């Protein structure tokens, strides 16, 4: 079927096409009209705005250093742009002290140091330099520091500061082994390095500046390189305790115990990077300087005679393999000429520092050329320093907004010529000297940026800028000068500690005269050093304000906000710790109080290492908002506890007792109280002794002490008959004694004791006519005064020993036996130079007639627990109720060993005994006294002291009241090896 619309459809399509064309034309016309109407007002507005535009003004700033100025300053100030300088300080033991000389040369030549990365001894020097110690101060420290005692391998306890009972326990033992339960704990090192720890802690605590969030907040940014023994990887420390970071980087494995941080065991960074030049990349430094002081190797096997020398040799071998890659990254390598000086030799420190100074001086021209090349990589425009309050991390102040026109034409403005411009300037506050200085520089200036840089380089201004007026062709230099100072006042709790004379001396370079920003910093630091010299370790400048030529300085309180105590095992109770602290939260922290606290805690014998350091308290830790009057430092006390169970062993041999053995087992921290409980036995050919004891060195927080012990003591004495034969007799005691009293400082005590014991004296049938057999139960009450400040019990070179005792029997228990006795001993050691000591000693004892043989005074031999010293007599040759002796001993310790470290001694003794007190005559004592002389050589050996003594009696007293053996003119020889117990 056909469609009914075949003719209609083409016609309809044609009409539609015409309609579309008409609509498109209409739309184009409308759009054109709209565009004309829109453009016409815009052109008219642009033309009118161009006629009304103000004159073009560009604000120009000099290129400034982008690094923060983390030192004290009167006000924020700009520093001219320069290359940043970072220094890598190597290890090297004593040789690394030459780095101090290099830094000294840098200071004299005004070579800046912005950052330091250090390893081992380089970390120590770099860390101290970063926190405010100058090169001169470091040199003084190096020259005066007792390196031999700080780095000594033996336990660094001061015997004179130990409790009396602790002295006795340690004097008699040769070796001490510690246990965790029944597990033997072998030491990780030869020394816990407590002396080194205490020294570094106190130096950092007493530094001018303390780190805030990290070590980059110090005046010189710092990083310490260490090695993790667990993973073998490098660990770089840049936050936390600065002293701990320095110690970790310089802890030689085996010699010193590792530093524990979480799961890491940190030791000397020289194992992985002895010259850490690659660490300087983290600072973004333009100039990287390497100071290499690793020293030379030992040339022969004979030189490797000590364990620390072998360790040093191994370190040097590892170091040699690292060096090429590290040195290649440095802009300049400085290598002081230390010759064949060994890392373990701390005897030629002045020469080492001098060698570093010479090497630094030689490289100064090269450094100056390197720094003279301008580099905008570390600069921006503008940057200002900030005054760092002690509780706030210093930061660079935010610069004012820069004109968009200046930013768009920065390259053109950098070489902006002043030839066709009128130059003006304004200074606030102004002065005649500044007007003259600025006028001369502005008048001769040809280029704007050079002018601003030169003005900023004078260091007389806090801010420097310029305004360029394009229309009237003028340039106005604007300068913010440092305020004039004529009066200085100090506010805060420590203000009274500083006198007017001290203030004037510190600020003399500023008062009433033109001064620089760095002079202002030096004056403020000098003021803080005054408070450090008075012992205030946390004193810091909180605020500086200048108004009407009056400089007002506000100091912090110098107090610690809180004390935190961390224990690695958590066994020790809080009371035994707190009672040893000398820190008072209500007073400013003093260095001496910190030192005594650390010393007291360590000398309890409970802790292997005690560390004290300060860190800023954060706002989240503070109970109240932190203000300038709120203490904002936290004192951290880190305590590394020893295992409490100790086994001590002693071995000894002498000509009288032959071989002897000591076994001492005790818990030295019972229940975390620092009390000790245990027992010890000794056995030899002539006797044996057993003790079970409890000692409380302090009861709670008081200075009261308590001790009790059960004892059994049996010893065989020899009496020489007139025919030369020996008549043995045995003295035996067993019982209990309890003592209560007070401590006199650390090395003394005064006790009252009560003892109940059985005392026997007996011999065999053949010798009973000479000795009466006794068997008595005795109750005694007595008092004892002991003060022992000797540095060594056998061969003291300083200190004294005093012992007074009185005892009596208050009632008779057996056969009406009642007696009393009083005795005293005093010994004083006088140093006569570094190698010679004079010892003077005296001993006296008196008693009642009824004194039994078991309680008499015994005299003879080199001295032990059974017989008082009288060199020239055989041990316990004289037994008497009353005695008086005096002795002189001269000791000389040569600087060279005779096989072992050696002491040579000369002896003189004089004494006399009386069986009855009524026979004592002081006027005739010397006439009938026994006198003897002798000489000794004593070796310090690993098994203990070894003594060879030859002595001879000069005058033999024939007084029949003395129980003296028959003697001829033959000399007496003594030999012993090991500690006396």
Tokens of 168: 């006795």
Q: For residue 210, with 0-12 CB atoms within 10 Å meaning exposed, 13-18 middle and 19 or more buried, which class applies?
A: buried
Q: Out of 84, 120, 755, 854, which one is annotated catalytic? A: 120
CA distance 738 to 7: 140
Question: Is 120 marked active-site?
Answer: yes
Tokens coding 393? 């991390």
Beta strands at 972-977 and 902-914: parallel, antiparallel or unpaired: unpaired
Known active-site residue 149:
no
In whole angstroms, what is the distance from residue 729 CA to residue 29 CA? 143
Contact 647, 635 (CB under 8 A): no
Please give the full DSSP string across 173-235, using - where no structure is assigned.
-SEEEEEETTEEE--SSSB--HHHHHHHHHHHHTSS---SSSGGGSSSEEEEEEEETTT--EE
User: Parallel, antiparallel, or unpaired: how do β-strands 774-788 and 115-119 relate?
Assistant: unpaired
Please answer whether residues 84 and 336 qualify as being in contact, where contact means their C-beta atoms are separated by less than 8 angstroms. no
Burial of 91 (0-12, 13-18, 19+ CB in 10 A): buried
Question: What does the alpha-carbon distance between residue 332 and residue 328 come to, in Å, rounded to a whole number?
Answer: 9
Q: Measuring CA to CA, how many Å separate 447 from each of 413, 450, 452, 798?
A: 10, 6, 9, 73
Question: How many Å apart are CA 797 and CA 152, to the nearest integer?
Answer: 18
Residue pair 90/356 in contact by the 8 Å Cβ criterion: no
Cα distance between residue 229 and residue 267, in whole Å: 7
The SS3 call for residue 331 is coil
- Using CA atoms, how far apart are residues 340 and 84, in angstroms rounded to an integer? 34
Select which of 63, 156, 201, 268 is catalytic.
268
Q: In b/e form, how buried is each residue of 373-397, taking b as 16+ CB within 10 angstroms?
A: eeeeebbebbbbbbbbbbbebbebb
* CA atoms of 230 and 266, how far apart (whole Å): 8
Count the helix, strand and coil residues of the chain and give each as a percent rounded to the nearest 5. Answer: 30, 35, 40
DSSP 800: E
The residues annotated as belonging to the active site are 120, 268
């Amino acid at each position: 079927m056909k469609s009914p619309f075949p003719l209609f459809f083409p016609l309809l399509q044609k009409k539609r096409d015409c309609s579309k064309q008409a609509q498109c034309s209409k739309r184009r016309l409308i759009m054109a009209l709209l565009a004309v109407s829109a453009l016409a007002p815009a052109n008219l507005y642009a033309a009118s705005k161009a006629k009304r535009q103000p004159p073009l003004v560009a604000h120009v700033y000099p290129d400034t250093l982008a690094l923060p100025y983390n030192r004290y300053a009167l006000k924020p100030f700009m520093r001219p742009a320069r290359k940043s300088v970072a220094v890598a300080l190597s290890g090297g033991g004593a040789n690394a002290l030459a780095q101090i000389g290099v830094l000294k040369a840098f200071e004299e030549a005004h070579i800046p140091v912005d950052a330091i990365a250090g390893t081992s001894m380089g970390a120590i020097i770099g860390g101290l330099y970063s926190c405010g110690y100058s090169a001169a101060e470091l040199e003084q420290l190096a020259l005066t520091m007792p390196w031999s005692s700080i780095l000594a391998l033996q336990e660094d306890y001061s015997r004179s500061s130990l409790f009396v009972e602790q002295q006795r326990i340690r004097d008699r033992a040769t070796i001490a082994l510690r246990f965790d339960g029944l597990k033997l704990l072998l030491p990780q090192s030869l020394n816990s390095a407590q002396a080194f720890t205490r020294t570094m802690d106190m130096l950092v605590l007493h530094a001018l500046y303390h780190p805030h969030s990290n070590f980059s907040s110090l005046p010189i940014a710092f990083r310490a390189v260490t090695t993790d023994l667990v993973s073998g990887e490098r660990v770089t420390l840049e936050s936390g305790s600065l002293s701990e970071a320095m110690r970790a980087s310089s802890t030689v494995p085996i010699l010193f115990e590792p530093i524990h941080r979480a799961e890491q065991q940190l030791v000397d960074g020289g194992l992985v990077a002895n010259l850490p030049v690659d660490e300087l990349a983290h600072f973004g430094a333009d100039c990287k300087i390497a100071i290499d002081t690793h020293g030379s190797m030992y040339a022969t096997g004979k030189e490797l005679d000590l364990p620390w020398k072998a360790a040093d040799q191994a370190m040097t071998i590892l170091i040699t393999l690292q060096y090429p890659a590290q040195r290649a990254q440095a802009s300049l390598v400085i290598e002081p000429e230390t010759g064949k000086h060994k890392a373990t030799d701390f005897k030629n420190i002045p020469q080492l520092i001098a060698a570093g100074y010479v090497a630094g001086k030689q490289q100064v021209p090269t450094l100056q050329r390197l720094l003279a090349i301008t580099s905008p990589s570390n600069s921006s425009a503008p940057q200002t320093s900030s005054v760092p309050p002690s509780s706030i991390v210093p930061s660079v102040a935010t610069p004012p907004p820069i004109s968009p026109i200046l930013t768009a034409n920065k390259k053109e403005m950098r070489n902006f010529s002043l030839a066709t411009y009128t130059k003006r300037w304004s200074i606030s506050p102004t002065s005649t000297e500044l007007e003259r200085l600025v006028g001369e520089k502005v008048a001769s200036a040809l280029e704007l940026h050079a002018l601003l840089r030169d003005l900023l380089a004078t260091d007389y201004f806090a801010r420097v800028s310029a305004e360029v007026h394009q229309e009237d062709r003028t340039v106005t230099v604007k300068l913010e000068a440092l305020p004039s100072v004529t009066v200085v006042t100090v506010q805060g709790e420590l203000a009274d500690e500083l006198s007017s004379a001290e203030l004037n001396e510190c600020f003399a370079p500023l008062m009433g005269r033109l001064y620089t920003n760095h002079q202002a910093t030096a004056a403020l630091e000098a003021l803080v050093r005054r408070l450090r010299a008075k012992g205030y370790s946390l004193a810091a400048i909180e605020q500086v304000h200048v108004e009407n030529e009056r400089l007002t300085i506000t100091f912090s309180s110098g107090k610690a906000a809180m004390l935190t105590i961390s224990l690695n095992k958590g066994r020790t109770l809080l009371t035994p710790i707190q009672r040893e602290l000398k820190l008072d939260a209500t007073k400013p922290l003093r260095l001496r109080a910190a030192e005594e606290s650390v010393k007291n805690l360590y000398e309890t014998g409970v802790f292997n290492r005690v560390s004290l350091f300060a860190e800023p308290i954060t706002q989240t830790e503070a109970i109240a908002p932190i203000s300038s009057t709120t203490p904002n430092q936290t004192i951290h006390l880190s305590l590394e506890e020893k295992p409490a169970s100790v086994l001590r062993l002693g071995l000894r041999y002498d000509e009288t007792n032959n071989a002897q053995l000591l076994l001492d087992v005790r818990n030295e921290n019972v229940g975390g109280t620092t009390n000790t409980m245990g027992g010890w036995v000794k056995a030899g050919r002539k006797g044996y002794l057993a003790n079970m004891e409890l000692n409380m060195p302090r009861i709670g927080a008081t200075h009261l002490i308590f001790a009790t012990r059960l004892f059994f003591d049996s010893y065989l004495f020899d009496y020489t008959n007139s025919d030369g034969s020996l008549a043995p007799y045995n003295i035996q005691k067993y019982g209990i004694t309890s003592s209560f009293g007070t401590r006199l400082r650390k090395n003394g005590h005064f006790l009252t004791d009560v003892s109940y014991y059985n005392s026997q004296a007996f011999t065999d049938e053949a010798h009973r006519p000479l000795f009466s057999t006794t068997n008595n139960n005795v109750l005694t009450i007595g008092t004892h005064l002991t003060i022992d400040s000797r540095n060594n019990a056998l061969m003291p070179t300083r200190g004294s020993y005093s012992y007074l005792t009185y005892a009596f029997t208050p009632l008779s228990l057996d056969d009406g036996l009642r007696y009393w006795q009083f005795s005293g001993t005093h010994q004083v050691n006088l140093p006569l130079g570094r190698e010679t000591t004079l010892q003077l000693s005296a001993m006296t004892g008196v008693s009642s007639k009824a004194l039994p043989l078991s309680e008499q005074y015994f005299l003879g031999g080199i001295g032990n627990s059974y017989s008082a010293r009288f060199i020239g007599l055989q041990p316990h040759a004289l037994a008497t109720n009353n005695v008086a002796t005096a002795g002189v001993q001269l000791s000389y310790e040569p600087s060279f060993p005779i096989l072992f470290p050696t002491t040579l001694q000369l002896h003189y003794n004089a004494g006399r005994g009386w069986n009855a007190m009524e026979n004592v005559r002081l006027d005739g004592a010397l006439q009938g006294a026994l006198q003897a002389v002798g000489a000794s050589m004593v070796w310090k050996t690993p098994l203990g002291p070894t003594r060879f003594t030859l002595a001879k009696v000069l005058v033999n007293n024939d007084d029949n009241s003395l129980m003296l053996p028959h003697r001829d003119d033959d000399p007496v020889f003594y030999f012993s090896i090991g500690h006396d117990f």
